[in-house]
Amino acid sequence: MPPTTPGSGDRRREPRCEVAATATVLAAGSRCLGTYVVENLSAGGALLAGDAALAVGGRVRLLLHLPRRRPIGLTADVLRRDGDPPARRFAVAFRNLTPLMQDAIQRFVLISLQRRRDAAAEPGAGGSLDTVAEEP
């Protein structure tokens, strides 16, 4: 999936990129629903992949685990579900982020995008996603 940026025909407001991250999803009452792979991330939301179903329209708590950083605890609304088990994907929109949380996520995404561009520009690199998955 190519990175998206505002003005690229995508309705999203924030730059988004594939990342190497996971999210622990919690329901009301702190019941763990599972750990999901974060397929892509922006300061406004994420696309999560995992087995356990999340209710579209529901609100969940996430512990976002970015490489070499402390987990970020945040609230998200489940906007959409795609696919059937075991390839379920859930689009979530983050809610009520503090400026520090938004900054941390945005910096991580921008570093990931820059590494992707740098890798694609290297002779013979071919822009492999393996280089994007490195920790920023």
pLDDT at residue 6, as a whole number: 44
pLDDT at residue 52, as a whole number: 84
Domain tally, the chain: 1
Contacts (Cβ under 8 Å, ≥6 apart) of 22: 35, 36, 37, 38, 65
* Inside any domain, residue 22: yes
* Inside any domain, residue 135: no
107 pLDDT above the threshold of 90: yes
pLDDT at residue 22, as a whole number: 96
* Inside any domain, residue 53: yes
pLDDT at residue 14, as a whole number: 76
Q: Is the peptide bond before 86 cis (omega within 30 degrees of 0)?
A: yes
Q: What is the CATH number of the domain that holds 39?
A: 2.40.10.220
* Inside any domain, residue 136: no
Tell me the pLDDT tens digit for each residue of 83-92: 877 779 999 9
Range of the domain at 59: 17-115
pTM for the complete prediction? 0.77
Tell me the pLDDT tens digit for each residue of 3-58: 444 444 445 567 788 888 999 999 877 899 999 999 999 999 999 999 888 999 99
10 within 8 A of 17, measured Cβ to Cβ: no
pLDDT at residue 121, as a whole number: 85
Strands (E), the chain: 17-26, 32-42, 45-49, 59-65, 72-82, 89-95
* Inside any domain, residue 12: no
* Inside any domain, residue 11: no
* Inside any domain, residue 10: no
Which is nearest to 79 in space by CA: 11, 18, 22, 19?
11
* Inside any domain, residue 68: yes
pLDDT at residue 16, as a whole number: 82
Band of pLDDT at residue 94, cut at 50, 70 and 90: very high
